[in-house]
């Protein structure tokens, strides 16, 4: 199965949503940012991006029964107090659709319906699209990195992923040379199962196959982790890096842009250890996982098991997520397990 028409539809949807998010990030107002019931931020761009991707996928793939598992829902937007926010999303979306040559003007109800197409639960049977309309909303609000992450599950396996990273430079972020040709930002990573990973500029002007770093000596590796201390345990990744002899300081960036950057070798390792009690969602990893795996990486939990996307909205995993190339994985896994053991039973001092 080549998933050719699904890939074309997914690239179109993510490209349009990425341009939309770029536009909104430039003019983001305080009133565009709300708080969800779990206190995490959501913006007009999260809702608009989800509605755009869902609208475009359904339009481009009309014959398929459509199932979408996505992060946002329209609950809060249906409150009386949210009418202004809803109108703003509608206007911003219609501006984007017009500039992309679409002639349909969406009503407020069309916007809510498109957002609510994302209510599927996923699972092991059939096909499900998986969407994070803005991954790294905190980064988006700060003006930093974020990603539009879209994947396709087929019988519980990720078979396609597209990752729009509107703020990621086209040149390696490991490269400190800031000459003007390297300042262009906006990347689209995409992969289908068995076919490798490609990166193109968001405007489509350049295109290439990408591969993860081939580094074998961990002392030469650099590692990525979350920007937000609330999303991962810096002390644990620090201890793992020390055991591996990693010399470079951690590279902290928001969102699945980390998977994209890793897929083209900007760094060699990604470490993610959420604090106790947090459950990872499939939309935070599905697209990134296939993008980096098809570029040659291994993605696993702290027990060395691959991620299982067939269990519904949540990933059922042991402690954290680690990613590196095939040569470094066994060393990394050992360092992770040693560090976890030490963290759970810290060495006792000398007895008096």
Ligand X SMILES: Nc1ncnc2c1ncn2[C@@H]1O[C@H](COP(=O)(O)OS(=O)(=O)O)[C@@H](OP(=O)(O)O)[C@H]1O
Residue ranges binding ligand X (CB under 6 A): 40, 71, 132, 134-139, 226-228, 230-231, 254-255, 274-275, 278, 281, 284
Residue 50 Cβ, how far from Mg ion at the closest point, in Å?
Answer: 9
Active site residue 137: yes
Between CA 341 and CA 347 the distance in angstroms is: 10
Catalytic position from the list 137, 192, 197, 293: 137
Q: CA geometry: angle at 211 spanning 311 and 329, to 5°?
A: 60
Question: Reduced to 3 states, what is the DSSP secondary structure of residue 93?
Answer: helix
Residue 63: other Cβ atoms inside 10 A: 6
Nearer to ligand X, 8 or 278 (CB): 278
The terminus-to-terminus CA distance of the chain in angstroms comes to 68
Residue whose C-beta lies closest to ligand X:
228
Q: CA geometry: angle at 22 spanning 264 and 144, to 5°?
A: 60
* Footprint on residues 36-55 left by Mg ion (CB under 5 A): 40
Nearer to ligand X, 153 or 253 (CB): 253
Contact criterion met (CB below 8 Å) for 208 and 312: no
- Contacts of residue 187, Cβ cutoff 8 Å, sequence gap at least 6: 164, 165, 168, 169, 170, 199, 200, 201, 202, 260
Contacting range for Mg ion; rule: CB under 5 A; set: 88-96, 202-210, 278-286, 316-324: 278-286
Residue 220 Cβ, how far from Mg ion at the closest point, in Å?
Answer: 30
Residue 151 Cβ, how far from ligand X at the closest point, in Å?
Answer: 14
Q: How many Å separate Cα 126 from the centre of its chain?
A: 23
Catalytic position from the list 15, 32, 46, 293: 46
Q: Which residues are annotated as a binding site for Mg(2+)?
A: 71, 132, 134-135, 284
Between CA 133 and CA 27 the distance in angstroms is: 18
Residue 31: other Cβ atoms inside 10 A: 11
Which of 266, 284, 294, 301 touches Mg ion by CB under 5 A?
284
Nearer to ligand X, 136 or 265 (CB): 136
DSSP lists the bridge partners of residue 41 as 35
Question: Reduced to 3 states, what is the DSSP secondary structure of residue 266?
Answer: coil
Active site residue 242: no
Residue 240 Cβ, how far from ligand X at the closest point, in Å?
Answer: 17
Decide which of ligand X, Mg ion, none touches 139; Cβ closer than 5 to 8 Å per partner kind. ligand X
Nearer to ligand X, 278 or 314 (CB): 278
Decide which of Mg ion, ligand X, none touches 266; Cβ closer than 5 to 8 Å per partner kind. none
* Footprint on residues 71-90 left by Mg ion (CB under 5 A): 71
Task: Answer yes or no whether residue 135 interacts with Mg ion by CB under 5 A.
Answer: yes
Between CA 343 and CA 75 the distance in angstroms is: 41
Residues present in the chain in total: 352
Between CA 203 and CA 20 the distance in angstroms is: 13
Decide which of ligand X, Mg ion, none touches 226; Cβ closer than 5 to 8 Å per partner kind. ligand X
Residue 135 Cβ, how far from Mg ion at the closest point, in Å?
Answer: 4
Residue 219 Cβ, how far from ligand X at the closest point, in Å?
Answer: 25
Contact criterion met (CB below 8 Å) for 329 and 298: yes
Which of 6, 32, 116, 132 touches Mg ion by CB under 5 A?
132
Nearer to Mg ion, 132 or 266 (CB): 132
Hey, which residues are catalytic here?
46, 137
Residue ranges that bind Mg ion, judged by CB under 5 A: 40, 71, 132, 134-135, 137, 284
């Amino acid at each position: 199965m080549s998933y050719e028409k699904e890939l074309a539809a997914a690239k179109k949807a993510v490209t349009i949503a990425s341009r939309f998010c770029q536009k909104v990030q430039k003019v983001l107002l305080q009133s565009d940012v709300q708080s969800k019931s779990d206190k995490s931020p959501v913006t007009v761009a999260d809702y608009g991006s989800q509605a755009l991707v869902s609208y475009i996928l359904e339009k481009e793939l009309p014959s398929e029964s459509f199932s979408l598992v996505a992060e946002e829902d329209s609950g809060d937007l249906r409150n009386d107090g949210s009418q202004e926010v809803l109108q703003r999303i509608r206007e911003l979306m219609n501006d984007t659709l017009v500039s992309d040559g679409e002639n349909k003007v969406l009503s407020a109800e069309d916007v809510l319906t498109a957002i609510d197409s994302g209510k599927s639960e996923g699972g092991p049977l059939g096909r499900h699209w998986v969407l994070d309309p803005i991954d790294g909303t905190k980064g988006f609000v700060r003006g930093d990195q974020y990603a539009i992450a879209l994947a396709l599950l087929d019988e519980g396996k990720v078979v396609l992923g597209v990752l729009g990273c509107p703020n990621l430079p086209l040149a390696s972020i490991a490269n400190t040379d800031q000459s003007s040709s390297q300042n262009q930002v906006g990347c689209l990573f995409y992969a289908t199962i068995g076919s490798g990973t490609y990166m193109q500029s968001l405007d489509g002007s350049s295109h290439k196959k990408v591969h993860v770093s081939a580094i074998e000596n961990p002392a030469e590796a650099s590692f990525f982790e979350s920007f937000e201390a609330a999303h991962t345990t810096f002390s644990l990744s620090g201890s793992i890096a020390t055991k591996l002899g990693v010399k470079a300081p951690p590279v902290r960036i928001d969102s699945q842009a980390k998977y994209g950057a890793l897929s083209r070798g900007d760094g060699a390792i990604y470490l993610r250890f959420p604090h106790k009690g947090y459950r990872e969602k499939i939309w935070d990893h599905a697209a990134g996982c296939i993008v980096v795996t098809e570029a040659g990486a291994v993605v696993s939990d702290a027990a060395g098991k691959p991620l299982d996307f067939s269990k519904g909205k949540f990933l059922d995993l042991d402690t954290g997520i680690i990613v590196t190339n095939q040569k470094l994985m066994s060393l990394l896994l050992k360092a992770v397990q040693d560090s976890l053991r030490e963290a759970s039973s810290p060495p006792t001092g000398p007895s008096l």
